[in-house]
Amino acid sequence: MRVPNFVWPLVDWSTDSGGHHWLLRAATCAATVCLLVASEIVGTGASFLMLVGVTLTLVWAVVSPDSAAALALLALLGWEWYTSVQDSVTPWTLVAAVSMFVVHTSVASAATAPAGARFVDPRPVRRLVAAVVVLALTAGVWAAGGVLVDVEGSQPVLSTVAALLGLAALGWFVRDASLPRPG
Amino acid sequence: MATAPTPAVWRPTPAHLRAAAVGLPLAVAAIAVRRPDLLVLATPLLVITLWSVLDRPREAPRTSARLVSSTLREGEETSLHVDFGLPAGTRQSIATVHSSPWLHLRPRRGVLALAMADEPAATLDFEVRSTRWGEQHVAVVVAATSSWGGYRWGPVGLPDFGVTTLPLPAVFDAAAPAPHPSGLVGVNRSARLGDGSEFAGIRPFHTGDRLRRIHWPVSLRTRNIHVSETWADQDTQVVLVVDATSDVGVSEGIDGAASSLDTAARAAGAISEHYLHRGDRVGLRIFGTARRTRLSASTGKLHLRRVLDILATMSVQPPHLEDNTRIQFGLDAGALVIMLSPLFSVTALGHAVTLARQGLTVVVVDTLPAGLPEQTRDPYVALAWRIRLLQREADVRRVNGAGIPVVPWFGPGSLDQVLRDIGRRASAPRMARR
């Protein structure tokens, strides 16, 4: 039996990959599944079409981490959460946020070096601390959101205006600072 | 040492764009539809975006690479060091090494990524092991990333390194003397008497004899002065002729099967080493290769290095290049010619016969690997090999008929019997066509 030609690049890709990359791929898949399960538990769950879309973009993101696939995957996961979950202060939001964080960072880490790379990290604690800082801020936002809903009720005008101004400033700063500089 | 030739800048990666492109719309949507949970989902992405921007490196890294040794023997290892001078904010330095198939790298895939924590410099170390003689190349590509993979510098290619791998001479030893020693000094016993170390006899003293040659026991016994007589020591000129018109068989490097050209290169190295250590002069001629084809006969350890250097540049000439099979041998009378060939090319057979007809002593060392028909699974290819080998056998018989011995290469003692036979044959009258 003749093996189709497209199989060989996939075989090369899988055999060339080192253990570190396989770990990152596993983390990406696990985090995606985790977010879908959370939305199933607190919401109506994903439609079949959404599941197909997430699966395809997940495979694409795992195979090609330096592409736009992970962007599509995160957008689909965000959309899935928005359409499926109605309880805006549920603790499962934290699970979903951690999942988004893991998907993003694992794909970003996989994109920094070719698939066969051997990674050496003499101080892994430093990365762990950075991740804990990000997740602590996320938990703080979740707690603040819950407090604001309790305090301002369904018409939080003040916080909405403050958040919009903050976002505009952040967007302006990021746009200006992200441009490449000679150096 | 190779340094990065082109300036490069830190550029945002798809990961940075992704964090911003997903985080900001999620946050806007959270405010627009009053869903704090969407803001919670956006928070890690926005924090990462902001962190990446604030911790972004401002200067380009300085990179260079050093190869400890650019000349190796087969099976030897050397180190490749890739040095980074890193600006603040660099979180990972990455080096990728691409090399010729005969250079084995450690790490195996040739890619190393080192996580950083504000160190000003880093060095990534690779081990490079050469498994086959010849000229190889090593290319290094470097890159660096910032926090969260948000910005990337490179990839930038550094100038290539050339690695010359000298053939590892096979073990060789020959106990038989060279057939026609002709020089003034050496370890081969001459056919004539003279200054030397090998005892020939004792004779009465003649005018001009050296006093240190007087043999006192015999002189006292006979009451007449007698002297010891020795055979003169002479060197010989050995010329290696290597057939590079074809490379038959599979080459798996120093650890595996050898092709005909592998065997020729290693055997030529071994024979050169043996004769040069004995003080003989060794010359080299290569036909069928695109590079340097001739090395005049000389002696000494430095000359062995010259021989190995030229053997390392040997390769089968591509068919589109000028025909390089016709070479001027320019050999001295009395030279011992050792041709190393798989005996597949008519040119090689023709050269052997021509040299023998000029009155030179020619020995052909057969470098064809054994079991060629068994190496293929295709029955038609195996059949074609058998037919070709039958044809070759007939050619070898014709060469033998012209008085040229053909011996297989099997290391020590490969040439002993044939050199003794030639030595005996040398005393008999023969006809030479000049």
Q: Tell whether B90 and B229 lie within a shared domain.
A: no
**Averaged pLDDT, B44-56:** 89
Predicted pLDDT of residue B21: 92
* Gap between the Cα atoms of B312 and B296, Å rounded: 17
CATH number for position B96? 2.60.40.10
> What is the tally of structural domains in chain B?
4
Tokens for A140? 């703080």
Beta pairing class for B336-341 and B361-366: parallel
Length of chain B: 434
Q: Do B59 and A122 touch (CB under 8 A)?
A: no
**How many angstroms separate the CA atoms of B53 and B318, rounded?**
54
Indicate the residue of B37, B110, B150 with minimum beta-carbon distance to A85.
Answer: B37
What value, to the nearest 5°, has the Cα angle with vertex A28 and ends A118 and A57? 115
| Mean local confidence (pLDDT), A16-37 | 88
B258 and B357, same domain (yes or no): yes
The shortest CB-CB distance from B94 to any of A89, A112, A134 is to A112
Judged against a pLDDT cut of 70, whether residue B330 lies above it is answered with no
Chain A hits for B150, Cβ within 8 Å: 108
The distance of A4 to chain B (nearest Cα, Å) reads 22
More confident residue, A13 or B272: B272
Q: How far apart are CA B242 and CA B257, in angstroms?
A: 20
Does the model's pTM come out above 0.90? no
Domain assignment present for residue B115? The answer is yes
Judge whether B434 lies within some domain.
no
The Cα–Cα gap between B326 and B245 comes to 11
3-state secondary structure B155-188: EEEEEEEEEEEECCCCCCCCCCCCCCCCCCCCCE
Same domain, B128 and B44: no
In a domain, B128, yes or no: yes
pLDDT of residue B45: 93
Task: Tell me how far apart the alpha carbons of residues B152 and B13 are, in angstroms, rounded to a whole number.
Answer: 6
Same domain? B154 vs B226 = no
Contact state of A94 with B40 under an 8 Å Cβ cutoff:
yes
Contact B116, B74 (CB under 8 A): no
Is B216 in the same domain as B273?
A: no
Angstroms from B111 CA to nearest CA on chain A: 4
Residues B151 and B260 in one domain: no
Segments forming the whole domain that contains residue B335 = 237-427
Residue B427: its pLDDT value, please? 61
B71 in the same domain as B42 = no
Same domain, B139 and B154: yes
Question: What are B162's strand-pairing partners?
Answer: B137
Q: Please state the rounded mean pLDDT for residues A57-62.
A: 92
Q: Name the nearest CA neighbour of A26 among A137, A140, A103, A114.
A: A103
Domain endpoint, select from B218, B234, B250: B234
- Between A141-150, B178-187, B271-280, the lowest mean confidence (pLDDT) is in B178-187
Give a yes or no: residue B111 inside a domain.
Answer: yes
Here the CATH number for the domain that contains residue B296 is 3.40.50.410
Q: What is the mean pLDDT of the segment spanning B207-223?
A: 88
In a domain, B5, yes or no: no
For chain A, how many helices (H) and strands (E)? 7, 1
User: Is B415 inside a domain boundary?
Assistant: yes
Alpha-carbon gap, residue B347 to B326, rounded angstroms: 8
| B54 → chain A, closest CA residue | A177
Q: Do B393 and B249 belong to one domain? A: yes
Lowest mean pLDDT among A41-50, A170-179, B119-128, B379-388: A170-179
What is the predicted pLDDT for the residue at A96?
Answer: 93
Q: Is residue B246 domain-resident?
A: yes
Which residues, numbered 62 to 81 in chain A, qualify as contacts with chain B under a Cβ-Cβ cut-off of 8 Å?
66-68, 70-71, 74-75, 78, 81
Q: B148 and B226 share a domain?
A: no
C-alpha distances out from residue B330 to A99, B182, B348, B434, Å: 78, 17, 16, 13
User: A2 at the B interface (CB within 8 A)?
Assistant: no
> Average pLDDT for residues B256-264, to the nearest whole number?
86
Quote ipTM for the complex. Answer: 0.85
Residues 37-56 of A with CB under 8 A from B: none
A121 contacts in chain B (CB < 8 Å): 114-115
Say if the Cβ atoms of B111 and A170 lie within 8 Å: no
Could you tell me if B332 and B298 are in contact, meaning their C-beta atoms sit under 8 angstroms apart?
no
Question: Does residue B243 form part of some domain?
Answer: yes
CA proximity to A171, closest of B58, B18, B21, B13: B21
Q: Read out DSSP for B82-104? A: EEEE--TTEEEEEEEEEE-TTEE
User: Do B225 and B241 have their domain in common?
Assistant: no
With tokens 């704090």, the residue in question is B36
Q: How far apart are CA A58 and CA A55, in angstroms?
A: 5
Cβ-defined contact of B112 to A120 (cutoff 8 Å): yes
Residues B92 and B123 in one domain: yes
